[in-house]
Structure 1
Amino acid sequence: MKRKRTLLSCLLPLALATAALSQSPPPHLGAGAKPEEGAEVILDGSRQMLDEKWTYWEGPRFASALPIKWKVVEDPVDGGSAIMTDDRAADKGKYGAADIVTKKPYRDFRLHIEFYITKPGGNSGVYLQNRYEIQVLDGDKTKHGMGAVINETESPYDAYLGVGKWNSYDIVFRAARFEDGKLVEKPLVTMYFNGKKVHKNVAISKVWGGPNSGVDGGNNNGFGITDTPQGLKLQCEGHDVRYRNAWIKELNLKKADTDF
């Protein structure tokens, strides 16, 4: 005797399939992600693009000199080339001595960037608007650790693939908003780490790390954020950390919402 299929039994496979699809990472995320329409590639592993679109950040601790000393090296996983944070001015973790920043400033944006840490303890950082650091630091699971909006969130360390693998950050950032010269809305950031959403609409309270860390770090203990667009910065701390496939798309986020 055949049993009649109930409506529930018919809908269950569809519901399971829909749930599975909802857990899949959205497009344009993760290592190897292609630039979205309207995005600008800012780092492709070539010397030409490095020199064309980047320069040193000449902060108070700057100790290097153009041309950029960071090396173009072989991509150890997929072939091709990558950019290595190698500049002797930054040896022994002297951050701010040889950091590089895009020549073009940005306000609101969508960013994709990939990094590779060669050895345990590898340290660098991705600075949004040359102010707000998204940490790149192997082995650290604290608020100062891997993938943290530094000192604002815990490290989403479980999303990290580890040393010797390409990792990716996908970010939407909304700059601070001002009225009559006064800050009225804090900067916001949402981030996927290797395709996994780890931060949603995190409000950033200040520029951490002092004047050597980035723009406005020395203003009112980092709370004196100014109303200026700034470049994307990559930190050099004398470690073999490599970057590739970075692209950025300018946005105009009228609402205080960076979720995507």
Structure 2
Amino acid sequence: MKKNALLILFLAASATSIFAQSNMNVGAKPTKKAVVYFDGSRDMLDKNWTYWDGPRLAAQLPIKWQIVKDPVDGGTVMSSNDPAGAGGKYGAADIVTNKKFRDFRAHVEFLIVNPGGNSGVYLQNRYEIQVLDGDSTSHGLGAVINESESPYFAYNGLGKWNSYDIVFRAARFKDGKLTEQPMVTMYFNGKKAHTNQVISQVWGGPNSGIDGGNDGGKGITDVPGGLKLQAEGHDVFYRNIWIEELNLKKADTDF
């Protein structure tokens, strides 16, 4: 009986591990409590997203990000190549979810078409997880920008789908003062890339996101923000984006 019980526990643990890996990779299905924010359709893009109304906004609704054919698996996806963002003008045509978040888990899939393709995934419309082919520095692909090194080893490469699976805990405040920095854990294509990475500030100035212009990005405020995708005039495609709201009591995002 003891051997059988141990075998059952082992098999259950193995099944859980396999499920966890499959749910943190390209094609991952939403968790039970998650909401799908983009499924490849124009209707969902228009329903759940809008342009970020930052100081450099140059685009007008409806969103000019195009719904295009998925070059790998068929179906449709969206392209971040908004004409208003041409020349690398981040903030000119970035899109952000209408829903704003504090703590959350997110799954985002992206495909970079051309060498040097550039975009970005912004947590709370503040903290960038870089999407940039060819850069393996702390400003590069998969990095919590300027806070960690790039996990470039996990990149599937040009013309292939990649996934970020993220658990994010927002900054904490007491009496209006910052008491705990924001924190993130991330898997890149199913490989753990960052564990409880503390984020010190918003990088990139006022055109990058909420609080970017406050005290050089260090003036973080107690305001929720949406998940933002960056337009820089490059052919970077997105699909299968879902988010589950969380309430993380402890300063721990590991999963």
TM-score bin, normalised by smaller chain: over 0.9
The residue aligned with 2:154 is 159
Distance 2:16 2:98 in 1: 38
**Alpha-carbon distance between aligned partners in 1 of 2:85 and 2:92, rounded to the nearest angstrom:** 5
1:169 aligns with 2:169: no
Pick from 211, 214, 223 the counterpart of residue 216 of structure 1: 211
Q: 2:253 maps to which residue? A: 258
Secondary structure at 2:43 match in 1: helix
Percent identity over the alignment is 70
Residue in 1 that maps onto 2:242? 247
CA distance in 1, matches of 2:31, 2:12: 25
Deviation at 1:58, TM superposition (A): 1.1
Match of 1:118 among 96, 113, 124: 113
Matches within 5 A, 1:185-200: 185-200=180-195
Pairwise mapping of residues 128-139 of structure 1 onto structure 2 (< 5 A)? 128-139=123-134
1:98-113 map, 5 Å: 98-113=93-108
Cα shift at 1:26:
2.9
TM-score (norm 2): 0.93
Q: Which has the larger displacement, 84-93 or 133-142?
A: 84-93
How far apart in 1 are the matches of 2:74 and 2:234? 21
2-structure distance, mates of 1:18, 1:189: 28
Structure 2 counterpart of 1:39? 34
Shift of 1:19: 11
2 CA distance for matches of 1:28 and 1:230? 25
What is the TM-score normalised by the length of structure 1? 0.91
Q: Which residue number in structure 2 is paired with residue 69 of structure 1?
A: 64
Computing the radius of gyration from Cα coordinates, the structure with the larger value is 1
SS in 2 for 1:192: strand
Counterpart mapping for 1:219-234 below 5 A: 219-234=214-229
Q: CA deviation at 1:184?
A: 0.4
Distance 2:27 2:195 in 1: 23
Structure 2 match to 1:50: 45
What is the SS of the residue equivalent to 1:202? strand
Matched AA of 1:191: M
Q: Which amino acid aligns with 1:151?
A: N
User: What's the CA shift for 1:28?
Assistant: 1.3
**Distance in 1, Cα, partners of 2:50 & 2:17:** 39
SS at match of 1:26: helix
Identify unmatched segments of 5+ residues in structure 2: 1-10
What is the total number of aligned residue pairs between the two structures? Answer: 247
- Residue in 2 that maps onto 1:238: 233
Distance change in 2, residues 1:105/1:20 (3 Å):
closer
**Segments ≥4 residues shifted beyond 4 Å:** 17-25
